[in-house]
Amino acid sequence: MIVNRPSIMIYTDHPDKDLLKEICAGIEEEGVLFQIVSGNGDVDELAHQAAAESMLGSGIGITGQQAAMQMSPLPKGHNVFELIQPTLRQCRDLGANSARAVKKMPFRSLAGGSQ
């Protein structure tokens, strides 16, 4: 990945690999670039930093089985979406939503998501 490209930032701290992969797939399907950076902190901290760092103002934080999506300039802790032990489907949709935030498209519902 080339730095300085307009991309969605994903800040990770020992993330669940499968969940991370689904998040990335969600962003890729929507045709937006992303960049994975390892950091440390809780999920609120990671997501907030990611959004602040992203040129597009959209970021995701993931640690273990917790993921959150943030948009700048929302304050830390005010996550747009938050998932704890999500399904793969929910992660795909979380990734898609971070891209949809950039594309100004309506979010998908993350509720229930079984599959």
1: closest CA among 22, 28, 30, 29? 28
Is 29 a binding residue for other proteins by CB under 8 A? The answer is yes
With CB under 8 A as the contact rule, the residue among 38, 84, 85, 105 that binds other proteins is 105
User: Dihedral angle at the C-alpha atoms of 72, 99, 31, 10, nearest 10 degrees?
Assistant: 70
Residue 33 interacts with other proteins (CB under 8 A): yes or no: no
Q: How far is the CB of 4 from other proteins (least distance, A)?
A: 22
Residue 67 or 101 with smaller CB distance to other proteins: 101
- Cα separation, 108 vs 106, in Å, equals 7
Does 6 participate in binding other proteins (rule CB under 8 A)? no
